[in-house]
Amino acid sequence: MCRASALYVCLLRAAGFHDHHRSHRDPLCTDRVIHSPAVPVFRDDRGRLLDEPCTAGFLTPAAPNAGVILRTAPERAAELPRALAVRAERVLETAVAHGYRRLVPGAWGCGVFRNDPAQVAAAFRALLEPGGRFTGTFEHVVFGILDRARKGGPHGVRADLHRSGDGPVRSQCQPYRSRSR
């Protein structure tokens, strides 16, 4: 997203967010969320310049770093599901506060930070499916996760959301697939 938009510049302006996380060094991070409204998006998913830039709002949380926790403080691994749940709730609260009705959550650290896709899916599932705090709040939720699978069914967070049954998240969840492949 940073290569296709002005998001990086917006994130640089959130010095307090970054300074806090650099100085506290807790791999769980905090539940703070950066809200970047009306960010210009100027490239498509192939990297080509758009004829007309458009704008989008971005919510940027700090993902817990499960890899560091598992390597340096494995006794804290049990804190990860709760941290992800609270973080997901905070992001959804922020989305509601700013009037967003369509969301594209990213991979939430399921790559380099080694967060468990099942835990991330469970955090969102509990909030978005029937009985959850945000049931019916959003028109559309699509997890923006690059799915490099060449064959077979869904992978990662998408697969875990699909396992949840016939709730609204299941029907709305689709992977991001780069059209350049």
Q: Which domain holds residue 81?
A: 7-172
Asked whether residue 180 is assigned to any structural domain, the reply reads no
User: Cα Rg for the chain, rounded, in angstroms?
Assistant: 17
pLDDT score, position 179: 38
Q: With beta carbons less than 8 A apart as the criterion, state whether 122 and 81 touch.
A: yes
Asked whether residue 37 is assigned to any structural domain, the reply reads yes
Asked whether residue 60 is assigned to any structural domain, the reply reads yes
Cα–Cα distances in angstroms (integers) from residue 149 to residues 33, 95, 108, 152, in the given order: 31, 30, 19, 7
Instruction: Write the burial class of residue 80 (CB in 10 Å: 0-12 exposed, 13-18 middle, 19+ buried).
Output: buried
Q: What is the CATH number of the domain that holds 152?
A: 3.40.220.10
Helices (H), the chain: 7-12, 15-24, 66-72, 80-97, 117-128, 156-162, 168-172
Asked whether residue 181 is assigned to any structural domain, the reply reads no
Asked whether residue 177 is assigned to any structural domain, the reply reads no
Residue-wise pLDDT for 56-93, tens only, equals 999 999 889 999 999 999 999 999 999 999 999 999 99
In total, how many domains does the chain have? 1
Asked whether residue 113 is assigned to any structural domain, the reply reads yes
Residue-wise pLDDT for 134-156, tens only, equals 999 999 998 776 555 545 555 55
- The residues that bridge with 140 in the sheet, in sequence order, are 102
Asked whether residue 178 is assigned to any structural domain, the reply reads no
Asked whether residue 1 is assigned to any structural domain, the reply reads no
Q: With beta carbons less than 8 A apart as the criterion, state whether 108 and 59 touch.
A: no
Amino acid letter at 78? A
